Each structure stands twice: as C-alpha cells, then as structure tokens.
C-alpha cells in the first residue's frame, strides 16, 4: 500500500531572519542533513515585523548568533547595561509603546488585562536575573586576567558586560515580541501565517516544528483548529511558564489532533525557563519532555536544537530515514 509522504511545517521564533527560502533550507540541513524541497514548509512571519530580511547567512542574535557592532550600540541604548530593575522597567515601557498600550494608572482595582500584563512582567524579571547569573558564570573567570594571552582568542568567553548584554538582548526582544503577541495585534497575524502554511486536511501526515514564540503560536493554531498532526515538536518554548500559559486563549492541553508532542529545551535557555509540559498539558502520556545541551551563544539557537538526537530521531522516523 502506498504511504503518503509526510510534510514538516516549520514555525520560526522571535527576531529578524534571512529570507524565507534560505531559512527553510537551513532548518532542513540542520534537521535532515539535506534540502527537503516541497516536503517542508516555513511559516515565515518575520516579514510582519521587519521591512527586509537579514543578509544571507547572517544569524540573528536571538538564534544564537553574535551581536553585531550596530546591535551592540542599539542594545546599549535599550538599557541592556542598566541595573536589573531599570532594565525591566525600560523593557516594559518599550513593549507597551510598540503594542500601543497605555501604562496602568495606579487604580485600586486592576483590569484583567493589567493583571495579566503584570504577571508577564514577573516572567521578564525572572529572565533578567537569570541573564545576570549566566552572564557572570559563563565568562569563565577570564575577564581582565593576565592569563588571557595564553589562550587562542576564539576560545575565550566574552567579557562579563558583553556576555550579560547578549543574554539581556535575548530577554528584551523576547519579552517585546511575546507582549505584542498577547497584548498587541501581532498574534492573529502570526497565526494566519501558520494556518496558511499547513497542508490541507487529508494531504498526508504532518509534523509541526515550532521554536520560541513560534511554538506558542503553532500550539494555539493546533489547539483552535484541531488539525491532525502526527508529531508536534516545540524547541526553546515558553509554554511551560505559568505567566505565559495563563495568557493562552484556551486551557492548556495537548491539541486534540496531535498524536505525539515532544518538548525540547536547554536548562540555560532563558526563553524556555520552564522545561516540563507534563502534566499541565494533558494527557501527559502524549508528551515527552527532553533536556538537551544547546551550545549556541545564548543556548537558544535553532540549528543547535534541530541537530539534537531528541529532535531528529522522532522526526526522521516518520520520514522513513535513520537519524
């Protein structure tokens, strides 16, 4: 009996990306080791936020690439070198401006939207203090020491201020985009892009792979539409975080049409922060949580996640090829 070929739908995460076709090819190479042609699709929503894509082969800092000189200057202007509380306050103000939302007026009784935003700010604060910890821990004690010259430059960790700035930039842009998704107008537009990328019902087995905020949007589409999906893979996802889970349109659960769900994260990933979806998203027997080592600059990079055996094996098994 002829078996219909599966289709994998990718949903990228926060930040600007290279052009859609190249991004899809990069994900193909990381996950399958080859270009999958029309067996894979990219739900490309970066164009909703950015006028033009990144230059070819530039890796966005949110995907684990280094901050460019221009980004470093912009990051400094965005307060990544402020104290943690000043950074949190500045990031919230920036997110509100972009979402067109007014600041709460100090009323005795909060509106539901203000209370929800306040909870999300708690998540921002947790990410910020973890960024401080990682920035300090991952300098490796080389900052300003005489021994630095004994090691090749490329193996030296970044000095602590720059290391912390890299993590804070991930925090800043992640919060801004998640805030816009839930409290601005970006959520419906992102979900429409994902819906358009899904094959029509009955077209064959479907695998959905979502990264970062893309995993949230993909989950909500599948929860709402109840599309038949053989495997849902979420990478570096904030879906396990209480403050994010509380903003979902429906109570957390495995989408009805999803047969299996694999959630993969690194314990140092600031965006994931929470790492276990079971049992909040029942039934738990359909979910597998896996911890991996993501050695990108910020431990959130997509290529490093896709190359993990915990990701490649279940996906490639559906395509009938060894991982």
What is the C-alpha to C-alpha distance for residues 116 and 167, in angstroms, rounded to an integer? 25
pLDDT for the residue 151: 32
Residue 74 has pLDDT above 70, yes or no: no
With a cut of 50, say whether residue 2 has pLDDT above it.
Answer: no
What tokens appear for 149 in the block? 């010259």
* Cα dihedral 261/180/198/21 (nearest 10): -110
- Tens of pLDDT, residue by residue over 268-313, are 998 998 899 998 998 999 999 999 999 988 899 999 999 999 999 9
pTM (predicted TM-score):
0.85
User: What average pLDDT does this structure show over 31-47?
Assistant: 96
pLDDT band at 107 (very low <50, low <70, confident <90, very high): very low
CA distance from start to end of the chain: 24
Structure tokens at 103: 């600041």
49: left (phi over 0), alpha (psi -120 to 50) or beta: alpha
Give the mean model confidence (pLDDT) for residues 163-175: 80
What is the Rg, in whole angstroms, of the alpha carbon atoms belonging to the chain? 20
Give Cα 18 distance to the centre of its chain. Answer: 16
Mean of pLDDT values over 188-210: 94
Does residue 225 or residue 286 have the better pLDDT?
Answer: 286
| Average pLDDT score over residue span 53-78 | 72
Residue 93 to residue 84: CA distance in whole angstroms: 14
For 132, list phi and psi in degrees, rounded to 5. -60, -45
Which tokens hold the place of 134? 């990682």
* Residue listed under structure tokens 């396990």: 240
For range 180-203, the mean pLDDT: 92
Q: How far is CA 249 from the centre of its chain?
A: 19
pLDDT at 173 over 80: yes
Angle between helices 160-183 and 112-137 (to 10 degrees): 160
Give the three-state DSSP class for 154: helix
Once rounded to an integer, what is the mean pLDDT over residues 157-162? 50
pLDDT at 162 over 70: no
Please give the pLDDT value at position 83. Answer: 83
Mean pLDDT value across residues 128-137: 81
Q: What's the mean per-residue pLDDT of the chain? A: 83
pLDDT above 60 (res 238): yes
Q: Report pLDDT for 65.
A: 74
The backbone region for 209, taken as left when phi is positive above 0, alpha when psi lies in -120 to 50, beta otherwise, is: beta
**pLDDT for res 78:** 56
pLDDT at 140 over 70: no
Closest CA to 100 of 200, 182, 184: 184
- 313 vs 162: CA distance, rounded Å: 36
pLDDT band (50, 70, 90) for residue 123: confident
Report the range of poorest mean pLDDT among 40-54, 110-124, 172-186: 110-124
Sheet holding 206-211, edge to edge: 40-43, 7-11, 206-211, 231-235, 261-265, 287-291
C-alpha–C-alpha distance, residues 108 and 59, integer Å: 46
Per-residue confidence (pLDDT) for residue 69, from 0 to 100: 57
**Helices and strands in the chain: count of H runs, count of E runs:** 10, 6
Tell me the backbone φ, ψ of residue 289, rounded to 5 degrees.
-95, 130
Q: Which residue has the higher pLDDT, 242 or 66?
A: 242
Q: 162 CB contacts (<8 Å, ≥6 apart)?
A: 67, 72
Average pLDDT over residues 180-201: 93
Q: Does the pLDDT of residue 228 top 80, yes or no?
A: yes
């Amino acid at each position: 009996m002829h078996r219909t070929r599966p289709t994998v739908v990718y949903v990228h995460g926060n930040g600007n990306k290279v052009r859609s076709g190249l991004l899809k090819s990069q994900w193909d190479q990381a996950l399958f080791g080859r270009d999958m042609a029309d067996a894979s699709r990219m739900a490309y929503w970066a164009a909703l936020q950015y006028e033009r894509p990144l230059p070819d082969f530039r890796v966005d800092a949110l995907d684990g690439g280094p901050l460019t000189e221009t980004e470093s200057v912009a990051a400094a202007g965005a307060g990544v070198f402020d104290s943690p509380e000043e950074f949190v306050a500045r990031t919230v103000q920036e997110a509100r401006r972009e979402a067109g939302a007014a600041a709460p007026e100090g009323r005795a009784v909060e509106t539901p939207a203000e209370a929800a935003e306040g909870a999300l700010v708690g998540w921002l604060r947790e990410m910020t203090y973890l960024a401080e910890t990682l920035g300090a821990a991952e300098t490796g004690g080389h900052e300003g020491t005489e021994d630095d010259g004994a090691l090749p430059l490329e193996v030296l960790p970044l000095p602590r201020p720059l290391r912390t700035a890299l993590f804070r930039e991930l925090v800043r842009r992640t919060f801004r985009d998640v805030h816009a998704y839930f409290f601005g107008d970006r959520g419906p537009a992102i979900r429409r892009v994902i819906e358009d990328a899904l094959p029509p019902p009955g077209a064959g087995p479907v695998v959905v792979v979502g990264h970062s905020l893309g995993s949230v949007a993909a989950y909500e589409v599948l929860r709402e539409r109840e599309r038949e999906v053989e495997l849902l893979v979420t990478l570096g996802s904030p879906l396990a975080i209480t403050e994010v889970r509380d903003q979902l349109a429906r109570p957390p659960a495995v989408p009805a049409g999803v047969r299996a769900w694999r959630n993969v994260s690194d314990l140092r990933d600031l965006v994931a922060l929470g790492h276990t979806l079971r049992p909040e998203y029942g039934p738990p027997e359909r979910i597998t949580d896996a911890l991996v080592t993501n050695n990108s600059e910020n431990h959130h990079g997509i290529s490093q996640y896709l190359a993990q055996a915990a990701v490649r094996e279940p996906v490639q098994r559906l395509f009938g090829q060894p991982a």
